[in-house]
Amino acid sequence: MHFKDSDYQVTINIPNRDSLMAEIARRFLRDNGFALATLNLDHLVKLRASSAFRVAYAAQDMVVADGNPLVWLSRLARDPVELIPGADLVIPLAELAASAKVSVALVGSTDAALAAAAADLKSRVPGLEIAVCISPPMGFDPTGPGGASVLAEVEASGARLAFLALGAPKQELLAARGRVATPKIGFASIGAGLDFLAGTQVRAPRIVRKLALEWLWRMLANPRRLVSRYAKCIAILPGHVRNAWQMRRG
């Protein structure tokens, strides 16, 4: 499924979770790294505004749909994809890593949150090895010396899967850089996934997610930060609806 604008085109190239898990298992087996991005409407807004973000997205090996609007647009275009939120990938990817004897790195958030997330992951995934937890400082720049330092620390730890919980665009920028600097490591950008495990952020109840209302839950919890973000997301929807309809018509 393609999403395009005058400034960019990005493709969801992994349509469902089974395909994603199979591809990552193959890469673990072959000692190949990867960069996994979880696309949503906010990312499409940011792609319009940032050439660096567009370059980073072009470097991602795998892109999945992290947002119901993208799933609905894919159905309209008759090129359906499955909803795969980044937060829902942490446990399955950790289980896959444990079965492949691949150690993991946790990058992002705070030291306390990473410690709590690591404890939660180990309790849920027997045999999981967490090689390192890295909480970059305030103002962290993934394209500067700090980014190089984080990648070097992940590589030195022996981890071959890094969960990046830095938020967009920092996590995608670091993943793109890591594909070049550390080609045997897989980078999964999972947003607030580690904070949810740590309990430092509360995720919407399952019923709210099933009703596709998680965005409303989040906005009501933090209106000052999210009202303007969601307004920008809504503003770009008509153009993507038009593009999806054109794709449907062939």
Phi-psi region of 247 (alpha: psi -120 to 50; beta: other; left: phi over 0): alpha
Residue 217 pLDDT exceeds 80: no
Q: How confident is the model at residue 208 (pLDDT cuts 50, 70, 90)?
A: confident
Tell me, letter by letter, the H, E, C secondary structure of 192-243. Answer: CHHHHHHCCCCCCCHHHHHCCCHHHHHHHHCHHHHHHHHHHHHHHHHHHHHH
Average pLDDT for the chain: 94
* Structure tokens given for 4: 């395009």
pTM, two decimal places: 0.95
3-class SS at 179? helix
Output the pLDDT for position 223.
81
> Contact 105/161 with Cβ under 8 angstroms?
yes
Q: What is the pLDDT of residues 102-145, one digit of tens each?
A: 999 999 999 999 999 999 999 999 999 999 999 999 899 999 99
Residue 250 pLDDT exceeds 80: no
Q: What is the pLDDT of residues 155-176, one digit of tens each?
A: 999 999 999 999 999 999 999 9
Q: What is the pLDDT of residues 58-106, one digit of tens each?
A: 999 999 999 999 999 999 999 999 999 999 999 999 999 999 999 999 9
Output the pLDDT for position 129.
98
DSSP state for residue 137 in the 8-state scheme: P
* Structure tokens given for 162: 């890094």
53 contact partners, CB below 8 Å, separation of at least 6: 43, 46, 47, 168, 169, 172, 173
Output the pLDDT for position 105.
98
Output the pLDDT for position 209.
85
Q: Which of 11-20, 22-31, 130-139, 221-230 has the lowest mean pLDDT?
A: 221-230
